[in-house]
Amino acid sequence: MGGRADWRIGGWFAIPAVLSAYPPIRLSAQSPHAANPERPSVATHAYTVAPGYMELEQGVRAQGFGNFRDQTSWEFNLKIGVARPVQLGLFGTGYNRTGEGNGVGDVGVALKLRRDLSSTHTVALVPAVTLPSGDQSLGLGAGRVLGSLLAVWSFELGGLLHTDLNAGPVGIGAGRPQVLGTASFSRALGRWGVAAEVYGYTSGGAGPGQGGLLGAVTLRPAVWLVVDGGGVVGLGPSGRDQLFLGVTTNLGRIFK
């Protein structure tokens, strides 16, 4: 999420960079070379990249309070299918510009552990850790190692909407953890797709409570390529408005 609120107050906000999807293809029917984004918002789907395949997500985001000038970032997430139920993600903020300065943000690693309950219901557990690679004095990182642990449930709602529900603690390692909750709904319309999401964080050691309403549009020019764009209306005094644009590319098989 996909996600993303105030990246200035800690690298744990880089964790949701691996946690979103609009709209995922049902993996029971898709080609292993089909792109299946986990961006641009906060919620992630429960599916994994096909074993031996690699997928790169990247995007730019502008955000602020009542404007989009306070912060600009380039985010990435490199996903590798280790086995059918296991995916490795290497993610972070490759470039971050704040009012204090600019440079590399925090980076991290995530595992997605998947289990199919039926042809339409899949669950996953996603532990993740960020490393303090961003300069905390310039507002580019958390200045410490932080973790998260999210539970994910993906299913089809009435045969019309794809639904992703996420919940779990984030900002682990900065005192009292925050709790993230998301509900995402999407629908594919041929090559196009539309999605909406509501998300929220409780207050904790890593930052204040906040939330947002997200809307996104996707386009699939080729089976291995998905382009996304949209925005967020921030909720609460700490919620930031956002605009984003990104692309997800399935890079093909890298090992057998």
CA distance 94 to 11: 12
Phi then psi dihedrals of residue 8, to 5 deg: -70, -25
- Which 3 state secondary structure label does DSSP give 20? coil
Q: State in Å, rounded, how far the first CA of the chain is from the last one.
A: 29
Q: Give 184-205 pLDDT, tens digit per residue.
A: 999 999 999 999 999 999 999 9
pLDDT, one tens digit per residue, over 68-110 is 889 999 999 999 999 989 999 999 999 999 888 999 999 999 9
- In CATH, what is the architecture of 7-253? Beta Barrel (2.40)
pLDDT tier at 9, thresholds 50, 70, 90: very low
What separation in angstroms does the CA of 35 have from each of 77, 84, 90, 197?
13, 16, 17, 21
The length of the chain, given as a count of residues: 256
Domain range annotation of the chain = 7-253
The span from the CA of 232 to the CA of 241, in Å, is 5
Please tell me the predicted confidence (pLDDT) of residue 27: 46
Residue in 19, 9, 39 with CA at minimum distance from that of residue 168: 19
Rounded CA separation 152/88 (Å): 16
DSSP, collapsed to helix, strand or coil, labels residue 89 as strand
Residue 101's Cβ-side half-sphere holds a number of Cα atoms within 13 Å equal to 11
CA distances from residue 47 to 36, 99, 111, 167 in whole angstroms, order as listed: 8, 37, 12, 16
CB-side neighbour CA atoms (13 Å) of 186: 34
Q: What is the model's pTM? A: 0.88
Q: What is the residue whose two structure tokens read 């470039």?
A: 95
